Amino acid sequence: MIKQMMLPLKNMFLLTVGMMLLVLYFVWASQGTEVARRFAHQENVFVCHISFEDSRGKQTTGLPKIYFVTPTYPRREQAAELTRLGQTLMHVPDIHWIVADDNQSCNAMVAKLLKKFGIPFTHISSPMPEVYRKANIVPRGVANRRAAINWIRKNAQHGVIYFGDDDNTFDLKLFEEIRDTKKVSMFPVGLIGDYAVSSPILKEGKVIGFFDSWPSKRKFPVDMAGFAVNVEFLLHPNATMPYKAGYEEDQFLRSLGLALEDIEPKADSCTQILVWHTQTSKKVSPTIRIGSELDTSLKDLLEEITALGMGHVSLSSGVKSYITKDGKTKPLKLFPY
């Protein structure tokens, strides 16, 4: 009789324990998902190097400093494009170059490159959160610009911020134009979309609209290279740049509380092009098969190519390499001959 009474109690106890374990599992699983979600969205920013030294021998003008923000990422063209841009910025006084690299660690090649220009600079490692790399349209450069904005918030009270990609082309006059920006200045950008240009439209000196081949219901249909922002205006508490591909400029300018009448047109009332959205044709970094150890100048040259991220060298795989002498070509591994 007692055994018959204990059986239902035992079953009820086991059922209760089972339900508790199930609840605990779901709680753990949900917390694990939340942790994973937070980790996927996490921005891991590292300030690699800061230099306020200006070794170019340029006199300080006393004008507002330009904080020139360049998002970049590892690829075989990276060193070439940073070199081209750096040699343009060498001519610009009172500038601080912020280079934010989409890299999990501080890239020694980028650091070495930045030091040789003599320009005051900040080198940041700011990889894109993993969750956004899986998006249908990847919001490239956003993590980099957000990291630069945060650095400026902490380290600057005055000046002008400008977003300049490493593959764009700049007229030096542009820097003279944007330096006196009070809130937000705007100007045309060449080689954009189906119109080959993106620009504000003016009437009687005031911005009345925009000329851009991809309006897409944007309040400010402009290119990232088509505006500059006063640092004091940037310190607006709601200012942010979203991870929304194609809408970064629009929503960033909206977050500043910008009104159409606030826009300061530059470039001769937006009739001149002082910046172009040039783009280098991208190719995959090659692996060069050399077949044997080298004892010529080519050894150091290929090491340089590797250091610059332009390619890689292998003894056993990759593109076959040849050497030419007197019009005759033979595999590199047979050299000398």
Catalytic residues: 249
- Residue 295: partners with Cβ closer than 8 Å, 6 or more residues away: none
Nearest to residue 196, comparing CAs of 124, 116, 265, 278?
Answer: 278
Q: What does DSSP assign to residue 44? A: -
Question: Is 167 marked as a binding-site residue?
Answer: yes
Q: Which tokens belong to 31?
A: 């917390």
Nearest to residue 127, comparing CAs of 64, 72, 89, 76?
Answer: 72
- Residue 245: partners with Cβ closer than 8 Å, 6 or more residues away: 135, 137, 138, 139, 140
Cα→Cα distances 221→86, 193, 200, 247, Å: 28, 12, 9, 9
Q: Phi and psi for 285 in degrees, rounded to 5?
A: -65, 125
198 neighbors 181 (Cβ within 8 angstroms): no
Helices 78-89/108-115 angle, 10° precision: 20
Strand-pair partners of 237: none
Nearest to residue 220, comparing CAs of 229, 211, 228, 232?
Answer: 211
Q: Which residues are annotated as a binding site for Mn(2+)?
A: 167
Q: Which residues are annotated as a binding site?
A: 167
